[in-house]
Amino acid sequence: MNQDERLLMGYTPFDRNHYEAEIKRQTQHMQDTCHAIVDDMANLVSELANILSDHMESQVADIHRRFQTQAQEIQEKEEYQESLHIQLLTFVGVMKSAYTELFESMGQPSHGSLS
């Protein structure tokens, strides 16, 4: 469109400058808005990462506590089992001695030993 056509349609050089300035202003406003949105999103992502990190740390600590508790329970059960084994061996030894004494007191050798 040439200058005369623009003048006939109501455009003036002032209008053009005004429209260009308005376009630049709106473009800048859109860019500022986009930058603000990006900044807000970055902050939200950072907050979410912190929340997830705290949650994960809490879960890891909880799992660690459970493993420690289970390890302690296993150790206690192993100690109890060892204690029972010693008691059983002691009982077998006492019974063997008692049978040996019984057979010897009856004047018979103890043929079948309990070993």
Query: Could you tell me if residue 13 is inside a domain?
Result: yes
* pLDDT for position 2: 67
Query: Could you tell me if residue 84 is inside a domain?
Result: no
Query: Could you tell me if residue 67 is inside a domain?
Result: yes
pLDDT-based confidence at residue 17 (cuts at 50, 70, 90): confident
Measured CA to CA, the distance from residue 93 to residue 114 in angstroms comes to 9
Query: Could you tell me if residue 112 is inside a domain?
Result: no
Higher pLDDT, 38 or 6: 38
* pLDDT for position 115: 46
Give the H or E element holding residue 59: helix 13-105
Query: Could you tell me if residue 102 is inside a domain?
Result: no
Say which range, 47-51, 63-67, 80-84, 103-107, has the weakest mean pLDDT.
103-107
- Express each pLDDT in 24-33 by its tens digit: 999 999 999 9
Query: Could you tell me if residue 37 is inside a domain?
Result: yes
Query: Could you tell me if residue 89 is inside a domain?
Result: no
Measured CA to CA, the distance from residue 2 to residue 92 in angstroms comes to 119
22-38 CB burial, b ≥16 within 10 A, e <16:
eeeeeeeeeeeeeeeee
Q: Could you tell me the pTM of the whole model?
A: 0.47
- pLDDT reading at 5 higher than 70: no
Domain that holds residue 16: 3-76
Averaged pLDDT, 68-88: 95
Reduce the DSSP state of residue 115 to 3 states and report it: coil
Reduce the DSSP state of residue 106 to 3 states and report it: coil
* pLDDT for position 66: 95
Domain count, the chain: 1
| Whether the Cβ atoms of residue 89 and residue 115 lie closer than 8 Å to each other | no
Q: How far is CA 35 from the centre of its chain?
A: 34
